[in-house]
Each structure stands twice: as C-alpha cells, then as structure tokens.
Amino acid sequence: MGMTPRIAIDAMGGDVGVRMMMAGAALARHRHDGLKFLLVGDEARIKAALDNHPNLRGASEILHTDEVVTGEDKPSQALRKSKNSSMGLAINAVKTGDCGAAVSAGNTGALMAMSKLALRTMPGIDRPALAALLPTLGDNDLVMLDLGANTDCDANNLIQFAIMGAAYARTGLGLEAPRVALLNIGTEDLKGTDEIRAAAAALRGATGLPMRFTGFTEGDKISRGDIDVLVCDGFSGNIALKTIEGTARFVTDLLKNAFSSSMRSKLGFLISRPATELLKHHLDPNNHNGAVFLGLNGVVLKSHGSANEKGIANAVHVAAELVEKDITRQVSEDLARFGSQRAAAESRD
C-alpha cells in the first residue's frame, strides 16, 4: 500500500447520525493527515454536516443514496439492500479497490453478512472473526476475537483466529511477537473442549511464527495484562466481552452511588476524583472503539453505535493503520508459513 488510504464512511449507520460521523472523520483527518474519504449517504445531510469541517470537505467525495440499513433489519433483509444502501455501497467501494477500508456504525449482523458476501474470506481462512481491543493493566490493550461472528468453532477456526489476532496485534499495537492465549475454563492441559485442546496442541507445535503461544487463560485474567491476544469462539467471546463491559459500568455506578450518598463522602469523592477519572478514561469505550472483521479480502470496521466523535476518529484511525500496514498480506504470509510447517510435521509422523 504505502500511500495514505482512502476510507469509505457509511454516514447513515448507527444511532449517532450524520453529524457525529462527519465530526469523527474530520477529527481523524486532523490526527492522520492526508487521509481521503468517500462519504456514503444522503448528500444534502452530508453537505450540511461538512459545513463545519472544511478540512474534511476538501478531502472527500460524496456518494449519494437514500437507502439505509436500520438496526431492526435482519441480516437477510439487509442483504437485499446490499446494492443501494449506504452500508452496502461503502463495502462495495472496498471490493472494487476504490477504497482501502469501510467504517460503519450500523447493525453488526448486517455489516458482517454484507462484508462476507461482497469481500469473501481470504484464502486459507474458513470464517472471518470480529476482533476488538480491550483495556488491560499492562502496557498495551488486548486483542480479543471472536466476539460474536461464529457461535461454534472447530480447532482450525481457532488456529486461524490466533494467526489473524497476532497479525492485528503487530499492526494495531506495534508488538513484534504478541503473547497469544486461548480462553478456557482452566489452565491445565486436560481442561476444555476437544476443539480448544486440539487448537492448543497445534499452536504449541508452531514455531517460527511472529507470536508466542502461552497456553490457556481463564476469564478472570483477561484484563491483567499478561497476554496480548485472546482467542475464543464467538459465543464465549461475546458473553465475556459483555460481562466485562457490564462489570465496568457496575463498578463506576457503584462508586457514583457511594459518593453521592452523604456530604462526608462527597468530600471523599473530590479527593478520589483523579482516581475515578482515570477509571472512567480507562473504561471509556471511545478509547477502544472499532471492532474489525478479520479474515476478509478487505478491511471493514464496526464503530460502536453510540460512539462520540473521538470514538469514530479512533475507528477510522485503526482502519487506516490496518490498510497502510497491509494486514491482509501479513495474515496470508503467516497462514502459508503455518500450513507448510504443519504439512512437514505430518509427513514426519
């Protein structure tokens, strides 16, 4: 790639509205100079929103459509809108090579179904996965996948997720050899399903890949910071993610309630305010926004439906980085290396 990518923005998706999507894209362009955009949606509304952002207006082209995929649309209904909707046209711009990546805050199921249909999975990948970054106590965030694209996975799916997740950690987090673990119900070798154990055995045997497989990890260790990539099937991953998000909200609300109950604690709140602000910053989804569909022939990012402009800018930034560092090529190379190693090992057996 080398050159600065052009990003397709679905201006109509999500609860955030056109103005917020434009504000996010404009903020991304301030941070990442030279970015170009294809803005897809209602031309009149996009133009009105661009009045506040001359910096973005000069770097953008508008593709008009009236059709929108709603949050209520089932994936099958959304696929019928894949030709003319803002979401479908944004993805299509990636398919034709007109744009390097697409960003949408729309319906996740619809975005996944359309992306899969238009872009297809990469050679060597059976199923795409949804990956996101989570905050940890360590020096960097954690890449977690799959977060809900596939409810049940076999060993090969999990191995492919590990390879894709490690490539994402090298690109998005700048780690040379990310530490990769499988989510399990215990750390002992005998724990977990046959699929998880088979995937672990294959990953243990893989040498020469730019990652370090560290075995199993349990749900309570996710945020400790001692792994960089956490691999699981989409069913467990989605439950784990929502549990973490719910617990984060629970802790923040608990503190709020405790502090607002009496005058004495209000004073305590002022003293501990820096600590709670730090907590809020750390848990703010806008600092970790943008779940990426890995394993497709092209980069598609899902922004949180309720993200603010900072969150949207973050998603755009991640998309641009994945295109610039050519994540698809990295994954292909690692898959090929893993495949030839595995074949060599099998012929020795």
Place of tokens 């929108």: 68
**Structural domain includes residue 69:** yes
**Structural domain includes residue 330:** no
Domain total of the chain: 2
Same domain? For 264 and 300 the reply is: no
Q: What is the pLDDT of residue 160?
A: 96
Same domain? For 93 and 2 the reply is: yes
Q: What is the pLDDT of residue 21?
A: 94
Q: What is the pLDDT of residue 55?
A: 92
Q: Is the Cβ–Cβ distance between 39 and 90 less than 8 Å? A: no
Same domain? For 60 and 141 the reply is: no
Q: What is the pLDDT of residue 77?
A: 87
* Secondary structure letter of residue 12 according to DSSP: T
85 phi and psi angles, rounded to 5 deg = -80, 160
**Structural domain includes residue 176:** yes
- The CATH number assigned to the domain holding 240 equals 3.40.718.10
**Structural domain includes residue 110:** yes
Residue closest to 221 by CA, chosen among 281, 129, 286, 138: 138
Strand segments, DSSP code E, in the chain are 6-10, 36-41, 60-64, 101-104, 129-134, 142-145, 179-183, 212-217, 229-231, 291-294, 299-302
Per-residue CA distances from 216 to 8, 114, 132, 232, 274 (Å): 38, 33, 19, 10, 35
How many Å apart are CA 323 and CA 292, to the nearest integer?
Answer: 12
Which amino acid, one-letter code, is at 138? G
Same domain? For 149 and 239 the reply is: yes
Token pair recorded at residue 312: 């949207």
Same domain? For 94 and 169 the reply is: no
Helix (H, G, I), strand (E, B) or coil at 194: helix
**Structural domain includes residue 304:** yes
Per-residue CA distances from 103 to 22, 160, 233, 260, 264 (Å): 12, 24, 24, 39, 47
**Structural domain includes residue 240:** yes
Range of the domain at 188: 126-290
pLDDT by residue for the chain (349 residues), tens only, comes to 446 789 999 999 766 789 999 999 999 999 888 899 999 999 999 999 999 999 999 999 999 999 999 888 888 888 998 889 999 999 999 999 999 999 999 988 999 999 999 999 999 999 999 999 988 889 999 999 999 888 899 999 999 999 999 999 998 889 999 999 999 999 988 899 999 999 999 999 888 889 999 999 999 999 999 999 999 999 999 999 889 888 888 887 887 787 776 666 666 666 666 666 666 666 676 777 779 999 999 999 999 888 889 999 999 999 999 999 999 999 999 999 888 888 887 788 7
Same domain? For 230 and 270 the reply is: yes
Domain boundary among 236, 271, 290: 290
What pTM was estimated for this model as a whole?
0.89
Same domain? For 195 and 284 the reply is: yes
Same domain? For 304 and 282 the reply is: no
How many Å apart are CA 103 and CA 300, to the nearest integer?
Answer: 6
The three-point CA angle 238-279-291 to 5° equals 30
Same domain? For 64 and 186 the reply is: no
Token pair recorded at residue 77: 């209904």
Same domain? For 316 and 181 the reply is: no
**Structural domain includes residue 332:** no
**Structural domain includes residue 16:** yes
Same domain? For 14 and 109 the reply is: yes
Burial of 47 (0-12, 13-18, 19+ CB in 10 A): middle
Same domain? For 148 and 99 the reply is: no
